[in-house]
Amino acid sequence: METLASLGDGFAIALTWQNLMLALLGCFLGTVMGALPGLGPSNGVAILIPLAFTLGLGATPSLILLTSVYYGAMYGGRISSILLNIPGDEPAMMTCLDGHPMARKGLAGEALSLSGIASFVGAFLATWGLIVLAPQLVKIALLFGPAEYFALFALAFMTLGGVSSTNQAKSAFAAALGLGLATIGVDTQTGVPRFTFGEVHLYDGLDFLVAIVGLFALSEVFIFLEHRHGGSDAEGRKLNIGKLYPPMSMIKSCTPTMLRTSFLGFIAGVLPGAGASLGSFISYTMEKRLVDKENTFGTGDPRGVAAPEAGNNAAAGGALVPMLALGVPGSGTTAVLLAVLLALNITPGPLLFTQNPDVVWGLVAALFIANFMLLAMNIPMVGLFTRVLMIPSRILMPIVAMVSFVGIYGISGSTFDLLVMIGFGVMGWVLRKLDVPLVPIILGTLLGNAMENNLRRAVTIDNGNWWTLIDSPLSIGLWTIAVIGFVLPLIVGARVKARMHQRRDEEGAISD
């Protein structure tokens, strides 16, 4: 009951003209970015963050704008999967499997609208899941002391490696690199400069927004330059959509699938380290095992379109749960959203729910509103977004690069930050070539200071006794999960991941 009252307050916040317009803008931009191959949810949100700041938006409006982009990208990714057999972003990979065959059968319109409905169901149920689960998680999180938080951060990094890369050593490297970058600057506890090498610009530390935009957006530009991929993927093909509305019987037959995979995707999203890609992957595989009696999956079965779409949208909502309730994001895009909160001086975690309930509930209400907007945009207006696929990347990529520069320059106004961003762009390009995941780097730069502070607080409270880190049952439990999460993929994960990764190349590095 209390929850519903808070939700009501949330709607009161979200239903202002400004917030509605921001949600609409976010949904539109998000769908476009999701639809364009090469611009995924994390890229899209990363490019827009600096703009949200420079516009002087408050915490709630910025979050509404950016989460609408996030949800929108999850919707948009399916468009090019279905029409071109090229996933618009990584979570939409599985949608290719049945979506494109459907389009070839002349059912493109049905596939698009069915997947739009599935996306809606997934995201809608996941938002309810967020409302129910997040406050419960907050109750547990309130029991956490510094030692438990340190263990929780370790858990986030160790489990992230299990899903985001085929090589655990490389994700450990990435996490350590990110954490190392976070230590640059004046030490918050003693005031001594660390790793600044006398450079005054480094005393404040590296701005994680600069790192994010460089690693995600600029490295994408370099990848396109390297392949001289200047055309549009849709060139020379006719994008025939045909009939737009699926028959009721098709929706009916897909309903159980959508409900099951929404649930599964949500769980996958909540788990640390697993993002929307994993959500759509396990949704598709489970549904294939469960209902594919006549071996129609892979040949244009509508259920094979509904399953991954409901799964990835539900996972996108689920991934918001640990980000909001614990302050530990589970996926690339939620890491970027965490950066937004941190930059706005809001620390997510249990206290967010008591200190800034307006932010939390305003956001939740905005998610509901965005969802309905997205449904409207993605079914009757889907033709508009298919046009976007015709934009060749030789025009798109210069715009992406320049908007990134404008955004970062708008925040700091310093050439130094632009140079650091270019450095991160080059680093991101090299690391993507080497199949090193970028998400742990981002997470490291974001959480590094909090992780170190909790470590030092815990040990200091116990007079320098390091064993205090594994002193309570709660922290022992967290460490156990962390170790299992790190070791298990080494044993059983290789097979699953090999199957999940076989359909992609450098996209994997920024997986969500």
**Contact present, 411 and 53 (Cβ < 8 Å):** yes
Minimum CB separation of residue 81 from other proteins in Å reads 24
Q: Binding segment for other proteins among 88-96, 126-134, 409-417, 473-481 (CB under 8 A)?
A: 409-417
**415 touches other proteins (CB under 8 A):** yes
Q: Which of 460, 483, 492, 498 binds other proteins (CB under 8 A)?
A: 460
Nearer to other proteins, 316 or 408 (CB): 408
Cα distance between residue 49 and residue 68, in whole Å: 12
The encoded tokens of residue 510 equal 């920024």
Q: For the chain, how far is it from start to end, CA to CA, in angstroms?
A: 34
DSSP string over 403-459: HHHHHHHHHH--HHHHHHHHHHHHHHHHHHHTT--SHHHHHHHHHHHHHHHHHHHHH
Cα distance between residue 83 and residue 103, in whole Å: 6
Nearer to other proteins, 168 or 472 (CB): 168
Cα distance between residue 244 and residue 254, in whole Å: 17
Minimum CB separation of residue 391 from other proteins in Å reads 11
Nearer to other proteins, 20 or 172 (CB): 172
* Residue 355 neighbours by CB under 8 Å, 6+ apart: none
Q: Which of 452, 479, 486, 489 binds other proteins (CB under 8 A)?
A: 452
Cα distance between residue 316 and residue 71, in whole Å: 7
The encoded tokens of residue 378 equal 């993605």
Nearer to other proteins, 354 or 460 (CB): 460
**413 touches other proteins (CB under 8 A):** yes
The encoded tokens of residue 65 equal 């704008």
Q: Which residue is it, tokens 């967290």?
A: 478
**255 touches other proteins (CB under 8 A):** no
Q: Which of 66, 103, 278, 401 binds other proteins (CB under 8 A)?
A: 401
Give the x/- contact pattern for other proteins in 147-186, rule: CB under 8 A.
-------------------xx-xx-xx-xxx-xx--x---
Minimum CB separation of residue 251 from other proteins in Å reads 40
The encoded tokens of residue 135 equal 């406050």
**483 touches other proteins (CB under 8 A):** no
**390 touches other proteins (CB under 8 A):** no
Give the x/- contact pattern for other proteins in 14-53, rule: CB under 8 A.
-------------------------------------x--
**394 touches other proteins (CB under 8 A):** yes
Give the x/- contact pattern for other proteins in 189-228, rule: CB under 8 A.
xxxx-xx----------------------x--xx-xxxxx
* Residue 512 neighbours by CB under 8 Å, 6+ apart: 40, 41, 42, 89, 90, 91, 275, 276, 277, 331, 332, 333, 439
**376 touches other proteins (CB under 8 A):** no
The encoded tokens of residue 309 equal 């779409």
The encoded tokens of residue 282 equal 């396990």
Q: Which of 201, 229, 503, 504 binds other proteins (CB under 8 A)?
A: 229
Q: At what angle do helices 393-412 and 219-227 cross, to 10 degrees?
A: 160
Interface residues with other proteins (CB under 8 A)?
51, 54-55, 166-167, 169-170, 172-173, 175-177, 179-180, 183, 187, 189-192, 194-195, 218, 221-222, 224-231, 393-395, 397-399, 401-403, 405-406, 409-410, 413, 415, 418-419, 422, 425-426, 429, 433-435, 451-452, 455-456, 459-460, 463-464
